[in-house]
Amino acid sequence: MNTVDALQPGEHTTATQLATRVIFFIAGLGMSAWAPLVPYAKNRIGLSDASLGALLLSLGVGSLVAMPLTGKLAAKYGCKALIITASLGIMLMLPLLATLSTPVSLALCLMLFGAAIGVVDVAMNIQAVEVEKAAGRAMMSGFHGFFSIGGIAGAGLVSALLWLGLIPLQAVLVIAAVIIMLLLCSQKHLLSQRLHQPDTPLLVLPRGWVLFLGILCFILFLSEGAILDWSALFLTNNRGLPTSQAGLGYAVFSVAMTIGRLTGDRTVSRFGSTTILFCGSLCAAAGIFLAVSVNDVTVTLLAFLLVGLGASNTVPILFTAAGKQDAMPVNLAISAMTTIGYAGILAGPALVGFVSQWFSLTTAFTAIALLLLAVAASARLVTR
């Protein structure tokens, strides 16, 4: 990566590491704060389920438009400028998401909200790659672990505030205040270095090795999206769990993934990236095979736990690999990988639904497990 005054090994490591963790937390916090607001928005505007589903696509569209551009913008302006601007964008959009009352205005706001999330996502991963290089040890799993903690905190805090009687606007203003305080504490240690890439176009398509890493990232994000959107239906339709308890599957998956990521840096340092990527993908695949093979609720929940633990450190390892390759500048590689991976989250539920419609949900989950086996088979190539 051609940088100006790039972070050197051992330079500002403690401060920049902490600032990077804070930004990952902010990204998870801001993104998840929207989830408890969805039912309120639906009732406020009077949307049908189908109309709401179409409206929610605006968030994904905004992210997919912004992500490919962020790598080049990071080269021109530095990660710090993008992270601060986009984080403020998230903060400003949340009150609008809590109050807008027309489908068009909400769709536009969701698109801007998604774009801000996309910019932060790419920029923070570019910063994370540089900080990890400077530290000289595995750190990516821990960074992504703070994103997971932020996700739990955002959804949990907004839900708790709404339960206590606050209106949605008041609840998100609390989140906005938290974002501001965290930005003030961390902004000094965000990376502001710019890159020497004067001849690089604004939008660069992934190629070669980066495209391969992106495809693996797509598979892993597709798996996560499938668990997010279809685990509840699988538990109710295939395992007879009451609808009121259907969220247990994703809850178990999320907690396991968070724990796995928070302990992942030590695990990767001890056993190596190749072993963790191979065993993790294998564990996630085994969890899905177990879920579809044994007709028991407890076993199925245990299976989702295995998927979360197995998948927890796979994506961070891919980002580390993108930081080490030389086929593309690192900032553009991270931008491309994040875009392809996010497409997996968006496409995953739709693809699962298509396969489920023509065959069965069990068949769809089995196909995902087979794709995870392909990731495991690629472990040695990824970490070469």
Choice among 260-274, 302-316, 321-335 with the minimum mean pLDDT? 321-335
Mean pLDDT value of segment 222-233: 78
- For the chain, give the number of residues: 384
Strands in the chain per DSSP E? none
Examine the pLDDT at 275 and tell me if it is beyond 80.
yes
Instruction: Give, to the nearest 10 degrees, the angle between helix 49-77 and helix 38-45.
Output: 120
Q: Where are the domains of the chain?
A: 13-189, 208-382
Burial of 46 (0-12, 13-18, 19+ CB in 10 A): exposed
Please tell me the number of Cα atoms within 13 Å of 378 on its side-chain side. 21
Examine the pLDDT at 25 and tell me if it is beyond 90.
yes
List, for residues 146-156, the tens digit of each pLDDT value. 988 988 888 88
List, for residues 311-325, the tens digit of each pLDDT value. 999 988 998 888 787
Q: What angle do CA 34, 36, 41 make, to 5 degrees?
A: 75
| Domain covering 208-382, topology | Growth Hormone; Chain: A; (1.20.1250)
Q: In sequence order, which residues have a C-beta less than 8 Å from that of residue 178 and are 6 or more positions away?
A: 29
Query: What span, in angstroms and rounded, lies between the C-alpha atoms of 147 and 31?
Result: 10
The model's pTM: 0.77
Examine the pLDDT at 338 and tell me if it is beyond 60.
yes
Residue 195 pLDDT class (50, 70, 90 cuts): low
Residue 307 pLDDT class (50, 70, 90 cuts): very high
Q: Give the CATH class of 13-189.
A: mainly alpha
Burial of 41 (0-12, 13-18, 19+ CB in 10 A): buried
Question: What's the confidence (pLDDT) of residue 4?
Answer: 37
Question: What's the confidence (pLDDT) of residue 188?
Answer: 85
Question: What's the confidence (pLDDT) of residue 47?
Answer: 75
Domain 13-189 shares a fold with domain 208-382: yes
- Gap between the terminal Cα atoms of the chain: 19
Question: What's the confidence (pLDDT) of residue 369?
Answer: 93
